[in-house]
Amino acid sequence: MSSQGGSSVSLSGDVAFVTGAASGIGYALSRKLVELGVKVVMVDVNEEGCSDMAREFNRGTETVAIAVKANTCSWDEQFAAYERGVKAFGRIDYFFANAGISERQWLPTFDPSTASSRPITKPALTTLEVDLIGQLYTAALALQVFERQEVNRHGFRGKLLLTASIYSYFTCSTMPMYTASKAGILHFMRSAAKLYEGKGVTVNSVAPNLLATNIGSKEAFKVFEARGLLRTPMDLVVRQFISVLGDSKDNGRAISINDEEVWDHPVDMTRWEENSKCCDMMEYMTGIRTGYWKWREDA
């Protein structure tokens, strides 16, 4: 499913929808896209930050970026942001599901000595809402928009990119919600890439190790920096996103970056032979039940 041809064409004139565009990866990505002549719909819950960034990009005579306030956890707000984007730029070629936050505590700290005096409480799923549901809303928007628009000059209806993380593959005992979200994004990406294969749609993810952004405090990043643990360059990360745009046929890639090293994280094939017959049949049966198979030539 994945190839590594990359894009060989100019992206100038294409249009991107970037969530979390006011800061960090989303901002760096938006800046690079504008540099390459791509128009950008910059979506963020931080209205002021996002407007400042768009203003910075719009210094010339042409409007190359618009800032739209939206909380990605709200389907209605994301949909409205898309409508603003289409009104401004005509269509969206690339959706970047990027907005995210760090771990928020979901359960009270484990303490059997006081537990019986405390009520059992509903978990706080804020991390999951932003990092998983919010990104899936962007994906749902992208896939339905692509379904409704004609192929562009590169031969694609559109491309979806999701910001994963090395925590899509590795666990962290103190970040159960972040790791659950990022692992979910990875599996969604691989499933969607397979389902939409050959339909003028590609789905890929970029999964960096730690970068000093506003996702964490300056003090926390200093601790990593002092130990030489903050060496993944932002521009290398941005280049990975850019590499699968345009006429690139790459699909289903989990492009991962640690320090200067970039690799495609492999699918875990442990015990696949024993499990595959059941999994393949499950895929087929679920396809019939849900109606997905209607789309498949090999149904």
Ligand X SMILES: NC(=O)c1ccc[n+]([C@@H]2O[C@H](COP(=O)([O-])OP(=O)(O)OC[C@H]3O[C@@H](n4cnc5c(N)ncnc54)[C@H](O)[C@@H]3O)[C@@H](O)[C@H]2O)c1
Report the Cα–Cα distance between both ends of the chain, in Å, rounded: 18
Q: Does 85 bind ligand X (CB under 6 A)?
A: no
Q: How many CB atoms lie within 10 A of CB 177?
A: 24
- Residues from 137 through 156 that contact ligand X (CB under 6 A): none
- Of the pair 90, 233, the CB lying nearest ligand X is at 233
Q: Yes or no: say if 41 and 84 are a contact pair by the CB < 8 Å rule.
A: yes
As a whole number of angstroms, the distance between CA 96 and CA 164 comes to 11
Q: Does 20 bind ligand X (CB under 6 A)?
A: yes
- Choose which of 11, 34, 45, 189 interacts with ligand X (CB under 6 A): 45
Residue 204: strand pairing partners:
161
- Of the pair 143, 186, the CB lying nearest ligand X is at 186
Q: Does 243 bind ligand X (CB under 6 A)?
A: no
As a whole number of angstroms, the distance between CA 246 and CA 274 comes to 39
Q: Does 132 bind ligand X (CB under 6 A)?
A: no
- Planar angle of CA 30, 33, 100, nearest 5 degrees: 30
Q: Does 254 bind ligand X (CB under 6 A)?
A: no
Q: Does 128 bind ligand X (CB under 6 A)?
A: no
As a whole number of angstroms, the distance between CA 18 and CA 130 comes to 15
- Of the pair 143, 237, the CB lying nearest ligand X is at 237
Contact region with ligand X (CB under 6 A), list: 45-53, 115-123, 144-152, 258-266: 45-53
Q: Does 130 bind ligand X (CB under 6 A)?
A: yes
Q: How many residues comprise the chain?
A: 299
- Choose which of 42, 64, 81, 101 interacts with ligand X (CB under 6 A): 101
CB of 223 to ligand X, least distance (A): 13
Q: Does 208 bind ligand X (CB under 6 A)?
A: yes
Size of interface with ligand X, in residues (CB under 6 A): 29
- Choose which of 6, 7, 36, 46 interacts with ligand X (CB under 6 A): 46
Q: Does 72 bind ligand X (CB under 6 A)?
A: yes
- Planar angle of CA 75, 80, 86, nearest 5 degrees: 125
What are the E-state strand segments in the chain? 15-19, 39-44, 65-69, 94-97, 158-163, 201-208, 254-258, 261-264
- Of the pair 24, 184, the CB lying nearest ligand X is at 24
- Helix segments in 6-125, DSSP class H: 24-35, 47-57, 75-89, 112-115
Contact region with ligand X (CB under 6 A), list: 8-16, 58-66, 208-216, 281-289: 208-216
Q: Does 211 bind ligand X (CB under 6 A)?
A: yes
- Choose which of 11, 17, 18, 26 interacts with ligand X (CB under 6 A): 26
- Planar angle of CA 47, 50, 53, nearest 5 degrees: 150
The residues that touch ligand X, with contacts defined as CB under 6 A, are 19-20, 22-26, 44-46, 49, 71-73, 98-101, 130-131, 134, 163, 165, 208, 210-211, 213-215
